[in-house]
Amino acid sequence: MQELYNSICKLLCQLIRSYNDAMILCQSWGFNGFKRKYRYFSRHLFNWKLCLENELFDKYRVTVSGNYGSMPYEPRSFKDHFTQWDKFLKENIDSLIGINKQFFDLTGFENYTIKDIVKCLLKDYEKTGRYIKRFNEAGWNPIDMHNVDDCLHEKMKKKEKKAGY
């Protein structure tokens, strides 16, 4: 069981680092709405990581050594980032679903924290797919991308405020 918790925490560390890297990339490209989006998700993932680390310690008196790693790809453009991010999310969703299945096989029940993380990542995966479709149809027009970003910036500002960030 401890190995499963360690696997989950390791995966969360990779996700957190990648969301942070994506946040910095988008900020450097002038996309502050996407920056806020990645920051918001990063905070949620970090909170879940803390919960899982606490649960691991409470049940097994084991601490997790967290290595945050780095983003698994180096995007050269906004388009490249989105296409790689889409694949990255899908791989991590599949990994978490696999870990939750192992958890179920060992305990007879699902880990609801993992289910919540998967739900969060699925939401981002769906949105990323929609952005890719929209931006492909618009020929990756910078004006369209910045219009989407401006709307996203206001939406995420409200979400962060509501969440107390």
pLDDT of 68 higher than 70: no
99-143: per-residue pLDDT in tens?
999 999 999 999 889 999 999 999 999 999 999 999 999 999 999
The owner of tokens 């967290």 is 66
Q: Say what the pLDDT of residue 74 is.
A: 87
Among residues 70, 72, 50, 42, the alpha carbon closest in space to that of 5 is found at: 50
The listed CATH number (1.20.1260.10, 1.10.357.10, 1.10.3720.10, 3.40.1380.10) that belongs to domain 2-163: 1.20.1260.10
Kindly report the pTM of this predicted structure.
0.87
Angle CA 92–95–101, to nearest 5 = 145
Q: CA 80 from chain center: how many Å?
A: 17
CA nearest to 148, candidates 164, 159, 136: 136
Domain coordinates of the chain in residue numbers? 2-163
CB 34 within 8 Å of CB 152: yes
- Residue 65's pLDDT is 65
User: Which residues contact residue 106 at a Cβ distance below 8 angstroms, ignoring those fewer than 6 apart?
Assistant: 1, 4
